[in-house]
Every structure is written in structure tokens, then in C-alpha cells.
Amino acid sequence: MTTIALKVEVPIACFRQSRAREYGETYPVPPPSTVYGMLLSLVGEVDRYKHCGVKLAIALLSEPEKSTVIRTFHRFKTKNIHDSKNNKPDYQELLTNIEFIVWVDAGVDKSKPNLVERLEKALTNPASINRFGGLCLGESRDLVNDVTLLPENYNTESMRWLIRDEYGLLTLPYWVDHVGSRETRWLSYEIQECPVFQPPELSWTSVQSN
């Protein structure tokens, strides 16, 4: 198997913008890097380099509502992790009712089995997967409600595709440097509505570390 389509439902999440500071702004859509991390978690993979070369295509099924909450953020200002100076209340944006379809193509993923094969196995035979923790999309608080393996004849009235466009107004990471920001990789996108089920050519993003 080289391609698989999954429907993902998440009640609430924040896809924190990379350059957000005190005010926790969210991207309006889940970035490819975040979706890739969720897929690795689904199959119990802790090495994010394991399936480099896989390709993702994302289509939005809902228009999430945005709200703003105030919550405590933890930032290390002092060496003592229990120091109250490390905790500060700030505003954060949240999205609710997130539904999308992600197509996963093996691309140049050279692992055996590749990520597509591991995802298919995880969803058809969950007992065979060794993983830990809740399945999240982003923060550990943002639990995934459902992941469904879609049949080839699945159809829906309308989908909004995340399309690569060098002049697009939406810049999203497809690979994140968790130590600093130097190695984070970005692409520009536009969201285009289209009724087709199969991913358009420009909807594919290759997940690479370089």
C-alpha cells in the first residue's frame, strides 16, 4: 500500500503560531508538521526522522470556531522550576470542531514498513501497535476524538484544500526544529475550495528535515 486517507476529528486545539509570544495565536489550520507528529504518535513511533520523505495532503471539512481563553503558561525565567516567576497567565486562541482529511503517500519513505503501511495496520489491527499516551494534535491537552480509515469511494460535498502557493498568505511549518528555530522549514499555502476527493498535485507536501 502506498497511499491512505484518514478522517481526523478534534474537539478543541491550538496550533500555536511559531512566532507568537505573549499572545498565543493559532494557525487557522493544522500545519503539516503537526499532522505528521500526530501520525507518528498513532503508530507509536518516537523517532521523527524515521519516515522522512512521506507526503501529506490536507483537506478541511469544517470551519472551526475561534475563541480566546486565559491560561497559565510555563516559561523558564529562573533555574528553579518551582519558582512562581516561571508561571504567567496569558491569552491563547483556541479552535473548536476541527475536522479534516489527511492523505498519506509513501513518497520516498524508505523505511520498511513505511508509514502508510504502519497506519493501515494500526487502524485495522489496533492490538498490534505498541504506543503510549493519548493521541493529540498539537499540545498534550488537545486530544483527538476519532481517526477513521476512509474507503476509496468516500465522497463529500465540499472540501477546502491546503494548496502550496509561493504567493500564498498562509505560511506553515512542515518540519519544526524543537531545539531552536534555525532548522524549521516552511512553505506558503492558500486554502482553495474544491469538490474533488483525490488530492490535487499542489496539495502534496513532502515532510523533510532539510
d(CA 36, CA 209): 12
Q: What is the pLDDT of residues 101-143, one digit of tens each?
A: 999 999 999 999 999 999 999 999 999 999 999 999 988 889 9
Domains parsed from the chain with CATH numbers: 3-18+27-62+98-206 (3.30.70)
- Pick the more confident residue, 88 or 177: 177
Are the C-beta atoms of residues 69 and 92 closer than 8 Å to each other? yes
Distance CA 1, CA 4 (A): 8
State the amino acid at position 194 in one-letter form: C
More confident residue, 41 or 158: 41
Neighbouring C-beta atoms of residue 149, cutoff 10 Å = 14
Q: How do strand 3-13 and strand 159-164 relate by DSSP bridges?
A: unpaired
Query: Across the chain, what does the average pLDDT equal?
Result: 88
- H helices of the chain, in order, are 32-43, 115-124
Alpha-carbon torsion 151, 153, 159, 162, what sign?
Answer: positive
71 pLDDT band, cuts 50/70/90, is: low
Cβ pair 164, 201 in contact under 8 A = no
In the predicted model, what is the mean pLDDT of residues 155-165? 86
Beta pairing partners, 70 = 91
Strand locations in 37-168 (E) = 55-60, 65-74, 87-105, 146-149, 159-164
Q: How many other C-beta atoms can be found within 10 angstroms of the C-beta atom of residue 14?
A: 22
pLDDT tier at 152, thresholds 50, 70, 90: confident
Whether the predicted model's global pTM rises above the 0.75 cut: yes
